[in-house]
Amino acid sequence: MTQPGSGMNVTTIGFLYPGYSAEDEYPAMERLLAASGTAVSLPVVHTLMREDAHRVDALLDIGGADVLAEGARSLGDVDAAVWACTSGSFVFGWDGASAQVEGVRAAAGAPASSTSFAFVNAARHLGLRRVAVAATYPRDVAARFVAFLAAADVEVVSLSCKGIVTAAEVGTLGRDDVLSFVAAQDHPDAEAVLVPDTALHTVEWLTDLEDLLGKPVLTANQVSVWEGLRLVGATEPRTGLGALFS
């Protein structure tokens, strides 16, 4: 897309983000990508969240077709669109999440995906077969993410759940809390640690996380942006954004 007033073609990837918690990760990713030589626009549309709860019924509502279609139409002219909510996609199961993405694609008029599929595609990109999961969710919700990964032949060798019910609370966790939680959930058999919550701030600390664990760490907003770039074929290596981008 042409950036207004600049005459430059800048890739625009739109994100549908439920409510308000860690949406500042997207302008942060813009800055990090710019520092690595990639000019990209990452606009965010906040989709309707009637209830902020990591609970199956609430998540099914958050990811409803009507909610996402309205958000996707609000994105305007984009090169790709991503439903940036892990729990609000994997909770539908593989087939339901696939239908969800198709609905976003149709409404946005652009290639589309979701954070749950971003985790799967990122794992495949890195050749990962066994992972640990550090989930902020209650266990019954996190178990659905494990099942979603299993459908893609990714084995979860360790699952830990922080049991936080609201995205708002997750968004308040700071650097030390995030590093200690993720590090504590590592497992010697895991080839990487997955951190599946777009409400959690992580992207400024990707290098710290991977240095601490000595292995790839995939986090929700990180993989969502990578997935958007993958959709438009912009897969060249970039530094400062973790093993996934490099």
Domains of the chain: 11-115+222-231 (3.40.50.12500), 118-219 (3.40.50.12500)
Per-residue pLDDT of the chain (246 residues; tens, 9 = 90+): 545 444 457 899 999 999 999 999 999 999 999 998 889 999 999 999 999 999 999 999 999 999 999 999 999 999 999 999 999 999 999 999 999 999 999 999 999 999 999 999 999 999 999 999 999 999 999 999 999 999 999 999 999 999 999 999 999 999 999 999 999 989 999 999 999 999 999 999 999 999 999 999 999 999 999 999 999 999 899 988 999 999
Dist. CA 184–CA 1, nearest whole Å = 42
3-class SS string, 31-87? HHHHHCCCCEECCEEEECCCCCCCCHHHHHHHCCHHHHHHHHHHCCCCCEEEECCCH
**Contacts with 93 (C-beta within 8 Å, 6 or more apart), sequence order:** 144, 147, 148
What global pTM score does this model have? 0.95
Q: Which of 150, 211, 164 is nearest to 186 (CA)?
A: 211
Q: Which residues, listed in sequence order, are joined to residue 193 by a DSSP beta bridge? A: 132, 217
